[in-house]
């Protein structure tokens, strides 16, 4: 078999390459290449800046519109459930004398919890872990409510079985689901599921914060490179041509510099505002959530201690340990002190937390009076000092404290929203703006080089 080499096969493909190389060797060729490189750099900068800004703006939107509200909703679900449990015990203690306000508060807690569960379910991805915790809570809530109603009706007949049902319900809320011990999402009780939900949402909030506050390094580097290349090219050009300015290239440099400055300033401002929204909004808010929950746990322990009618010292011990977490061993530490520290520099926030701390002190004092009555065997006096009709009850003191903490939390939520909106505002228009500037800069560079090229013809 004979192989016939293609006639002139080797030189033929070499011809365009040589022509290209030869073209690049000439001044106009080099100019064309430089024009391509400059335009490419400026366009790449524009595209990267736009893309990175959009990504961060999306994360900032997610913080404000999704993860922070969801995380706060999860905290509120937890709080409503814990409040329902505490309020159920209050109503139980008052038995037939339960005032409408207590019953209404319990009902509002359940309403609020189920509304928030529905809202969270609608906003959470169907396959996520959060969704499974949510459906566990959705299944347990009506069971819990049923157990509490059973407890109420037995209690009204004066039967201790009511107390057993209330403790069974409270165990479902706080500790374990004795009806579904093998379901991992239900076994540890409702508050544990609410806790998991809260952790998942707060983790998402952290991720969104991180995403929104990431420095756009790629865009910054490309912008600096583009600007540097433009400046360098113009210096070289002015040396060769003795002309000081090339209007097109000058406009390109100005547009690139403006875009770069806007990018850095916009992201810097957004980062500051978002950090501010966390430091002066979301972080104090989380601490206040925790203070409210601990106050509820104290209240629950106080009530259940009376429901247990002196048959255990566990609730008294629980009161001691949770009040230490809430206010420290001398009433001036703990979560309340942490909340005060986080509210530093904020007049309203500080005033609210101080008022709440004072309310806690009077609550603690009243609790001591009630406990002394109980120790003396005067059960009725202890119940009266706790949930009675008078003004000086631990229930009133708790209500006042919770009111202050709720107001402080609402205040921090507003602070969060204002700062986070500001941060989002700093990014708005940035993607489009840098895009337009980059297009202008590209056009300027091409025009400027085209004008110089024309001088060769």
Output 352 or 424, the one with its CB closest to another protein: 352
Torsion of CA 104, 109, 112, 115, to 10 degrees: -100
Does position 325 bind another protein by CB under 8 A?
Answer: yes
- Residue 442: other Cβ atoms inside 10 A: 22
Among 49, 77, 230, 293, binds another protein (CB under 8 A): 293
Identify whether the C-beta of residue 377 lies closer than 8 Å to the C-beta of residue 383: no
Please report how close the Cβ of residue 261 comes to another protein at its closest, in angstroms.
Answer: 36
Sign of the dihedral defined by the CA atoms of residues 266, 272, 278, 281, in that order:
negative
- Per the listing, tokens 């404290």 go with 401
Total chain residues near another protein (CB under 8 A): 57
- Write the DSSP symbol of residue 61: H
- Write the DSSP symbol of residue 97: G
Please name which of 332, 266, 331, 321 lies closest in space to residue 298, comparing C-alpha atoms.
321
Does position 176 bind another protein by CB under 8 A?
Answer: yes
- For residue 385, the surrounding DSSP H or E stretch is helix 379-387
Contacts of 20 (CB under 8 A, 6+ apart): none
Please report how close the Cβ of residue 154 comes to another protein at its closest, in angstroms.
Answer: 7
Please report how close the Cβ of residue 147 comes to another protein at its closest, in angstroms.
Answer: 8
The contact mask relative to another protein for 202-241 (x = CB under 8 A, - = no) is xx--x-----------------------------------
Q: What is the DSSP string of 320-338?
A: HHHHHHHH-TTSSSHHHHH
Among 59, 174, 357, 413, binds another protein (CB under 8 A): 174
- The tokens describing 85, both together, are 């449990």
Contact stretch for another protein (CB under 8 A) within 61-69, 172-180, 268-276, 360-368? 172-180
Please report how close the Cβ of residue 189 comes to another protein at its closest, in angstroms.
Answer: 8
Contact stretch for another protein (CB under 8 A) within 34-42, 176-184, 249-257, 269-277? 176-184
Does position 184 bind another protein by CB under 8 A?
Answer: no
Please report how close the Cβ of residue 90 comes to another protein at its closest, in angstroms.
Answer: 14
Identify whether the C-beta of residue 252 lies closer than 8 Å to the C-beta of residue 442: yes
Identify whether the C-beta of residue 213 lies closer than 8 Å to the C-beta of residue 243: no
Does position 170 bind another protein by CB under 8 A?
Answer: yes
- Write the DSSP symbol of residue 5: P
Site for another protein in 70-89 (CB under 8 A): 78
Output 293 or 426, the one with its CB closest to another protein: 293
Contact stretch for another protein (CB under 8 A) within 44-52, 105-113, 313-321, 349-357? 313-321
Please report how close the Cβ of residue 119 comes to another protein at its closest, in angstroms.
Answer: 20
Site for another protein in 361-420 (CB under 8 A): 377, 379-380
Distances (CA, A) of 107 to 81, 104, 138: 11, 5, 16
Distances (CA, A) of 413 to 73, 406, 419: 12, 10, 10
Output 83 or 289, the one with its CB closest to another protein: 289
Output 313 or 329, the one with its CB closest to another protein: 313
Please report how close the Cβ of residue 33 comes to another protein at its closest, in angstroms.
Answer: 53
Does position 36 bind another protein by CB under 8 A?
Answer: no
Distance CA 166, CA 333 (A): 33
Output 101 or 178, the one with its CB closest to another protein: 178
Distance CA 445, CA 250 (A): 8
Output 8 or 158, the one with its CB closest to another protein: 158
Please report how close the Cβ of residue 332 comes to another protein at its closest, in angstroms.
Answer: 19
Output 78 or 262, the one with its CB closest to another protein: 78
Among 321, 329, 344, 450, binds another protein (CB under 8 A): 321
Over its C-alpha atoms, the chain yields an Rg (Å, rounded) of: 34
Does position 191 bind another protein by CB under 8 A?
Answer: yes
CB environment 443-454: b (16+ within 10 A), e (fewer) = bbbbbbbeebee
Distance CA 415, CA 422 (A): 11
Site for another protein in 139-168 (CB under 8 A): 154-155, 158-161, 163-165, 167-168
Does position 197 bind another protein by CB under 8 A?
Answer: no
Residue 377: strand, helix, or coil = coil
- The tokens describing 30, both together, are 């080099």
Output 234 or 374, the one with its CB closest to another protein: 374
Distance CA 252, CA 441 (A): 4
Distance CA 286, CA 342 (A): 10
Does position 315 bind another protein by CB under 8 A?
Answer: yes
Please report how close the Cβ of residue 283 comes to another protein at its closest, in angstroms.
Answer: 8
Residues that bind another protein (CB under 8 A): 78, 95-96, 154-155, 158-161, 163-165, 167-168, 170-171, 174-176, 178-179, 189, 191-192, 195, 198-199, 202-203, 206, 286-287, 289-290, 293-294, 297, 300-301, 304, 307-315, 317-318, 321-322, 325, 377, 379-380
């Amino acid at each position: 078999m004979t192989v016939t080499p293609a006639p002139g096969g080797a030189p033929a493909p070499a011809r365009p390459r040589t022509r290209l190389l030869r073209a690049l060797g000439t001044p106009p060729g080099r100019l064309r290449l430089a024009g391509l490189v400059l335009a490419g750099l400026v366009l790449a900068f524009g595209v990267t800046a736009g893309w990175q800004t959009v990504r961060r703006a999306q994360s900032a939107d997610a913080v404000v519109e999704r993860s922070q509200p969801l995380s706060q909703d999860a905290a509120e679900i937890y709080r409503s459930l814990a409040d329902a449990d505490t309020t159920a015990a209050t109503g139980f203690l008052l038995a037939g004398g339960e005032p409408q306000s207590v019953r209404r508060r319990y009902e509002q807690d359940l309403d609020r919890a189920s509304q928030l569960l529905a809202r969270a379910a609608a906003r959470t991805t169907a396959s996520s872990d959060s969704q499974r915790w949510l459906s566990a809570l959705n299944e347990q809530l009506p069971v819990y409510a049923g157990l509490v109603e059973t407890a109420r009706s037995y209690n009204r007949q004066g039967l201790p079985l009511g107390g057993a049902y209330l403790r069974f319900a409270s165990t479902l809320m706080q500790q374990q689901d004795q009806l579904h011990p093998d379901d991992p999402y239900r076994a540890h009780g409702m508050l544990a599921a609410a806790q998991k939900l809260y952790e998942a949402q707060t983790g998402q909030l952290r991720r969104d914060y991180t995403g929104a506050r990431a420095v756009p390094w790629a865009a910054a580097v490309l912008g600096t490179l583009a600007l540097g290349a433009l400046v360098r090219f113009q210096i070289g050009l002015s040396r060769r041509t003795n002309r000081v300015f090339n209007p097109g290239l000058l406009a390109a440099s100005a547009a690139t510099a403006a875009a770069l400055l806007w990018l850095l300033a916009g992201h810097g401002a957004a980062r500051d505002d978002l950090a501010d929204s966390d430091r002066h909004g979301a972080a104090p808010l989380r601490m206040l959530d925790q203070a409210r929950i601990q106050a509820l746990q104290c209240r629950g322990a106080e009530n259940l201690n009376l429901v247990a009618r002196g048959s255990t010292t566990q609730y008294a011990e629980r009161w001691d340990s949770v009040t230490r977490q809430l206010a420290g061993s001398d009433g001036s530490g703990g979560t309340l002190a942490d909340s005060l520290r986080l509210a530093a520099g904020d007049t309203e926030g500080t005033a609210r937390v101080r008022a709440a701390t004072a309310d806690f002190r009077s609550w603690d004092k009243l609790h001591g009076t009630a406990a002394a009555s109980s120790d003396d065997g005067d059960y009725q006096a202890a119940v009266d000092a706790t949930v009675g009709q008078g003004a000086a009850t631990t229930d009133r003191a708790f209500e006042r404290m919770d009111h202050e903490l709720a107001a402080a939390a609402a205040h921090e939520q507003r602070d969060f929203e204002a700062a986070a909106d500001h941060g989002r505002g700093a990014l708005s228009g940035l993607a489009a703006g840098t895009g337009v500037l980059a297009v202008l800069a590209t056009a300027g560079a091409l025009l400027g080089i085209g004008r110089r090229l024309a001088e060769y013809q």
